[in-house]
Amino acid sequence: MTPEMASTPPPAPVDDSPSAEPEWVEYSDDQLLELRISDLKLRISGSELESRIQTFYRELDDRKIAFKPVCYLGDEWFCPEGASTIAIPFYLAHPRLKKLEEHMMMEVEGGTEIWCLRLLRHEMGHVMNHAYLLEQRPEWQKVFGSTSIDYSEYYRARPYSKRFVRHLEDWYAQSHPEEDFSETFAIWLTPGLDWRQKYRGWKALAKLEYVDRLMQELAGQPPQKLSRAKMSEASRLRSQLKHYYLKRKRLYAQDFPDFFDADLRRLFIDAAVQPQAERAAGFLRRNRKLILEAVSVWTGEPKFTISRLLKSLTQRCADLDLRLRGDTAQASVQITAYLATLAAHYRLTGRFKATPTSIPP
């Protein structure tokens, strides 16, 4: 070996292990949004998802469920139709992507361990339905209803109904018979939950007891149909993150605080224009009961539904520091008419207002 060769350091090893931090971790949000999802090269292995999935698998073992679904990274939470797999949103595979998700969508669905496990249990309900062909059983259809009805992006929830369990938010069990089963299964699967006590006196208890009998029957039995199909795998998604979020913002536009801003600015006025005028938020809080009563009586919509909307609008008025345009009588008429219009649209469509065709990224 020559002196020159001895003094030459060996090449640095290439670290392609899951623990190696990718270059995009240091990117700004704007830079990150330019990347394609497939370019992120994400893995479940080595991420916080790995331990959460293992916890979920132990829950299945404890309940004597004979197989474990393949969990993979996709573009959202879902179980592909007819498959025994569970897609988990890719952004949960790295803290930097969770931070971007929160910035873009205001929350990170499944971002905590409790929330993640809750969603895994729900999706497992779909897996069980597919793997054991449960919805084909006459008794299943008698308990949960026909699955032939169309899925709707929007549904009219009945917040006080005791015919359905409450697992995920927004009374999701009420959206479709398949979701009703999945939500009921998720409650049954939840460790340490005394569902008989929690749902005592509810009609939903009969659904839970049916699921309990059904799972005892299936304990240890292999699936009748086992499909490992995957859809929308993150490793194959070539769309840029900015287009991914643009699409989602269009879908969930009504859930963003600024969705009603244009309407509120027509109803009220900026503080800079009329600083001495009464604050719109204070006016709405003071007259909340009267407005709710009037809108509910003339639209037939429950006060609960209108109250949630009015609370959101009131907070947005405070954020924008809006003021009354005219006197209080005029403001009362206008806001009541506006809420009644939104309630009428909600009664017909399940949404308070049509979604704009374009939302800025």
Tell me: the pLDDT tens digits for 249-305?
776 655 665 778 889 999 999 999 989 999 999 999 999 999 988 988 888 777 767
Which residue matches tokens 């991420």?
47
Confidence class of residue 216 from pLDDT cuts 50, 70 and 90? very high
| pLDDT above 80 for 147 | yes
pLDDT for 92: 98
Q: Which of 124-133, 273-282, 295-304, 332-341 holds the top average pLDDT?
A: 124-133
CA distance 333 to 175: 34
pLDDT for 251: 64
Confidence class of residue 133 from pLDDT cuts 50, 70 and 90? very high
Q: Which two tokens stand for residue 356?
A: 């704009």
Q: Which helix (H) or strand (E) holds 88?
A: strand 85-89
Total Cβ atoms within 10 A of residue 110: 22
Q: Which two tokens stand for residue 33?
A: 């949004």
pLDDT for 245: 92
Q: How many residues are present in the chain?
A: 361
Q: How far apart are the first and last CA of the chain?
A: 60
Q: Higher pLDDT residue, 225 or 19?
A: 225
pLDDT for 326: 82
**What single letter denotes the amino acid at residue 273?**
V
CA distance 113 to 111: 7
pLDDT for 13: 35
Q: Rounded mean pLDDT of 339-357?
A: 70
pLDDT for 12: 35
pLDDT for 104: 87
Q: Which two tokens stand for residue 196?
A: 């008989």
110: left (phi over 0), alpha (psi -120 to 50) or beta: left
DSSP letter, residue 75: S
Q: Is residue 234 within 8 Å of residue 40, measured between CB atoms?
A: yes
CA distance 56 to 53: 5
- Tens-digit pLDDT profile for residues 23-51: 999 999 999 999 999 999 999 999 999 99
CA distance 216 to 227: 23
| pLDDT above 60 for 136 | yes
pLDDT for 152: 62
Assessment of whether the complete model's pTM goes beyond 0.95: no
pLDDT for 236: 97
Phi, psi of 319 (to 5 degrees): -60, -40
